[in-house]
Amino acid sequence: METVTLDGLDRALLHALHVDGRAPFRRIAEVLGVSDQTVARRYQRLRAAGVVRVVGRTDARLLGQVDWLTRIRCVPDAAAPLAEALARRPDTSWVSLLSGGEIVCNARARLRPEREELLLGALPRSPRVLSVSAHYLLRTFVGGQVAWSGRTSALTEGQIGRLRAAAGTGRTASDVPDVPSGPDVPDGLDRALLAALAVDGRASLAALAAGAGSPETTVRRRLAALIDGGLLFLDVDVDPRPLGFEVEAFCWLTVAPGRLAAVGRAMAEHPEVGFVAATTGPSNLVAGLVCRDTGAFYDYLTQGLGELEGVVAVETAPLLRSVKRAGMMIPSSNNL
């Protein structure tokens, strides 16, 4: 992977995409005070280098599905091949290789019968797999529809307001309902749009219409309905390293039940936390941490987490390699 150095305009563009992943280059250019061509050229460069991807994702609950967090411990030299095999599965959205021969992945399935196939059929019966545990993701405080607050702060409040006013965006954890009204059943057009946007969340209306075989006006109306209804959201996946974050780790916390929501909400405001969710299992909160260096990682464990009331125990594991992220496999060369 080429070394990418971000300047102020690059950071402002990433922040603008964080506010509205489908904002037209023209609108972003107006807010940033540059030309459309400059914004388009910068975006294509960052996307080609693997720094940013905008993808369309769906809310599992509205499809009658459940997101599972799976931890797999195996013999260290078996971890990478198994992680890559899991990453090739269409039902995994991210797969991470941790220290000590451990794999953590997120997968989606219906309660039955896909649950049995996922948990019992996805993994090889091998003595090289030492243990497997899988748990529901019960409530996400950061990640998915609620983006990582620490990725950049390059825009002013006025610029953010202009982008949000044009897009009607700005979803926070409190905007995501706890209980959906019931599973949606996407029709053929919906499925075509969701499949195309899962590859490129910024695909043009013309490209979406051509792929779906429908008029642009129909596609525009249906796309708006999918977003407004909460079934579709845009995930802006950013590689943290060009932003100066060199240490990533997973963290499992045991929190007093009465403090679980408060701790999750508090961590959602910490810039070191890229993902945090309540889960089933012996630990009831899982987080993905993004820190500038090992010193900042230590400071967060002792101060950021240490000051939260109700945290009983903490387990951490450094992330060695992202094998799949935002639904796309990451070449090993991109992790160097």
pLDDT per position as a tens digit, 243-287: 889 999 999 999 999 999 999 999 999 989 999 999 999 999 999
Q: What DSSP character marks residue 259? A: G
Token pair belonging to 40: 């388009």
Indicate whether 83 belongs to any domain.
no
Within a domain: 256? yes
C-beta of residue 59 within 8 angstroms of C-beta of residue 145: yes
Confidence of residue 151 (pLDDT cuts 50, 70, 90): low
Per-chain mean pLDDT for the chain? 87
Segment holding 17, helix H or strand E: helix 8-19
Tell me which of 167 and 45 has the higher pLDDT.
45
Query: How much helix, strand and coil, in percent to the nearest 5, is found in the chain?
Result: 40, 30, 30
Which two structure tokens, joined as six digits, stand for 110? 């219906």
CATH code of 302's domain: 3.30.70.920
With respect to residue 268, please indicate whether it lies within any of the assigned structural domains.
Answer: yes
Residue 275: strand pairing partners: 288
In this prediction, residue 333 carries a pLDDT of 58
pTM higher than the cut 0.85: no
Look up residue 148 and give its amino acid: W
Residue 15 falls within a domain, yes or no? Answer: no
Residue 154 inside a domain? The answer is no
Which domain covers residue 294, as residue numbers? 142-147+245-319
Residue 12, in any domain of the structure: no
The number of distinct structural domains making up the chain is: 1
Question: Has residue 259 been placed in a domain?
Answer: yes
- pLDDT interval class at 96 (50, 70, 90): very high
Q: In which region does residue 182 sit, left (phi positive, over 0), alpha (psi from -120 to 50) or beta (all else)?
A: left
Q: 120 or 238: which carries more pLDDT confidence?
A: 238
> Which tokens sit at 92?
């995994």
Share of the chain above pLDDT 70, in %: 85
Residue 314: Cβ-neighbour burial (10 angstroms; 0-12, 13-18, 19+): middle
